[in-house]
Amino acid sequence: MPTLKDIRVRIKGVKSTQQVTKAMKMVAAAKLRRAQERAVMARPYAAKLKDMLGSLSAKVDTSVNPLLSARSEVNKVLVILVTADRGLCGAFNTNAIKLAHKIIHEDYAALHSKGGVSLICAGSRGFDFYRKREYKIVKGYTAVFQNLDFSTAKEIADTASAMYLRGEVDKVVVVYNEFKSVLAPHLRDEVILPIAPETSGKESGSDYIYEPSPSAIIDVLVPKHLNTQIWRMMLESNAAEQAARMSAMDSATENAKELLRTLNISYNRARQAAITTELSEIVSGADALTS
């Protein structure tokens, strides 16, 4: 049974932890607001760029650009995994790694057994996980979310497209957390190469005159589209990470509050028991002297 001193030490430790988790929750809330604004602002541009590419690709032969042409047979796959640089954000990193694991070991198990699956890890947690195991990592980016910059997304997009053009991969899949709300991040996996633009009936029925030619415009839009989509995914992941951390720290603070309540009850009971024992000893001693 713990002594009064042990309980006091534990109460002090829990209070210190509660102060830390409360502070981390406030910091995550402040970062979430900025990250959410950046993610929301990037969505319209990325969506419009995708629509424009879809409208143009409906008017030309997609074989004019190799990044639009799907391979007849998929023998090599590149998985781009976007995780956080730090922990203390609940199951945020674990869920992303689990989905990447599922894609590698279930969806492309046959290719993985032949060494046909490679990885690009954006974020320290995913990179550290796969670096310690026997996986083919093309490139790992650590501490990217401490100072998130568009150049990192562009470098990832350039690496993936270069590998696709050289025939080193036949498909590129991105695993990331999309920001939906504070309580519900949405884990997603999207194929970004080959590019499969979505065409709407409204745009495909319209007739425009393009200058220069649609194929020339597509050659300019395709790299912009790749850069923008990966940048959007990284912004979404950053916002989802801050939301997950804020939620996790809020739960930790509430758990610490409940634990403190339980410890205070245990401390009071132990103190009352000690006082009762001392009184019993005093009474017994007094009875012995008078008898």
Please list the active-site residues: 89
Structure tokens at 245: 């951390």
DSSP-assigned beta bridge partners for residue 122: 82, 141
- Separation between Cα atoms, residue 186 and residue 207, nearest integer Å: 37
Tell which residue, 46, 54, 55, has the closest CA to residue 233.
46
Tell which residue, 55, 68, 79, has the closest CA to residue 222.
68
CA–CA distances in Å: residue 136 to residues 22, 113, 120, 171 = 40, 12, 9, 15
- Separation between Cα atoms, residue 103 and residue 202, nearest integer Å: 35
Is 193:171 a contact under the CB 8 Å cutoff? Answer: yes
Rg, the chain, Cα only: 28
Neighbours of 22 (CB within 10 A): 16
- Separation between Cα atoms, residue 64 and residue 58, nearest integer Å: 12
Q: What's the burial of 29, exposed, middle or buried (CB within 10 Å: 0-12/13-18/19+)?
A: middle
Q: What's the burial of 148, exposed, middle or buried (CB within 10 Å: 0-12/13-18/19+)?
A: middle
Chain centre distance of CA 191: 17
191 backbone dihedrals φ, ψ, rounded to 5° = -90, 120
